[in-house]
Copies of this chain bind each other. A is one copy, B any other.
Amino acid sequence: MNAAYAGIDVGGTSVKSLVVDEEGKILDEDSRESHPDGIVELVQEVAAQLVERTPQISGIGVITPGIVDAEAGVVHYASNLKLSNVALAAEVAQASARPARLDHDGRGAGFAESFYGAAKEWASSVVVPIGTGISAALCFPDRVWEGETFQAGEIGHIPVYPGGEACSCGQRGCLEVYASARNIGLRYATRTGKPPSAREVERCLGKDPLADEVWAEATEALALVLAQLTFTLDPGAFVIAGGLSGAGDKLLTPVRKALSRHLAWREPPPVVASRLGAMVGRWGAAVLGCKAAGSLSYEAWHV
């Protein structure tokens, strides 16, 4: 019987799981509602059930938001999950009797997109999930960089317009203020009185000048930060992920144009959409499961 590998994507509203075989074929896929209270017990339960359903699982990967020390297997702090200094890798390993590894959800997603997703053809890339917030996974040929204090990739709080609009973080002019899905919706609602939804803004593009305005402010702010990242990192490509990436070319075309404008004297890196979509976290976690089992078979997966 072939080995199998499990990945668990832990969030504040759902815990999603995936089990794949040596070739990356999906054997099991599930999602359960979650709540910050009792989240560790829920993850342990999910891990135990995955192993019960697929006993040949030989490694489990887990990803969470927050400040995560992958090497130690510890969630230092995750406000959305109400976790503080929890050795989650060890908890999962104990509940499942399988080796387990932990990493940050953004880095897991970055790993999946850069190693066998949208950015596979480049040696390096920056994967940018845009949803309630905005972050970045910095993908290098051999690693996704975690930062000296496990806080790399917090690009949502880059001061894109110094002294600009107030952000919920207490600073001003942060990228997230203008370009997170949440704030695109809120800024449109403030100007129009309509319900706050980025999807609604997207739907009204070309019909409502206020929607066009809010969208243009978002894509311009995003392009400015991608220009900063290009000057700094010179990545092979940018991969736009998360909820907002569902807008496809409505988002990517104006971002590409603005990025070219801000990079007058050099080629801009390609800006592409996530290939793994809502599954990206689970695929990243499954790779970790593979690594936990000491296997490199994920290198041959074709997603």
Binding site for B on A (CB under 8 A): 122-124, 136, 138, 140, 145-162, 169-171, 224, 227-229, 231-236, 262, 264-267, 269
A232 near B231: Cβ-Cβ < 8 Å: no
Q: Identify which of B147, B153, B170 contacts A265 (C-beta below 8 A).
A: B170
Q: Are B231 and A154 in contact (CB under 8 A)?
A: yes
Give the CA-CA distance A169 to B266 in the complex, in Å: 11
Return the contact of A264 from the options B123, B138, B146, B170 (Cβ within 8 A). Answer: B170
Residue of B154, B162, B267 touching A224 (CB-CB under 8 A)? B162
Min C-beta distance of A138 to chain B, whole Å: 7
The smallest beta-carbon distance between A141 and chain B, in angstroms, is 9
Q: Are A158 and B234 in contact (CB under 8 A)?
A: no
B145 touches A140 (CB 8 A): yes
A233 partner residues in chain B, CB cutoff 8 A: 138, 145, 147, 152, 232
Indicate which residue in B122, B158, B169, B269 contacts A232 across the interface (CB closer than 8 Å): B158
Q: Please, which residues of chain B bring their CB within 8 A of the CB of A158?
A: 227-228, 231-232
Chain A to chain B contacts (Cβ below 8 Å), 7 pairs: A136-B232, A138-B233, A147-B233, A160-B162, A162-B224, A171-B264, A232-B233
Residues of B within 8 A of A155 (CB): 231-232
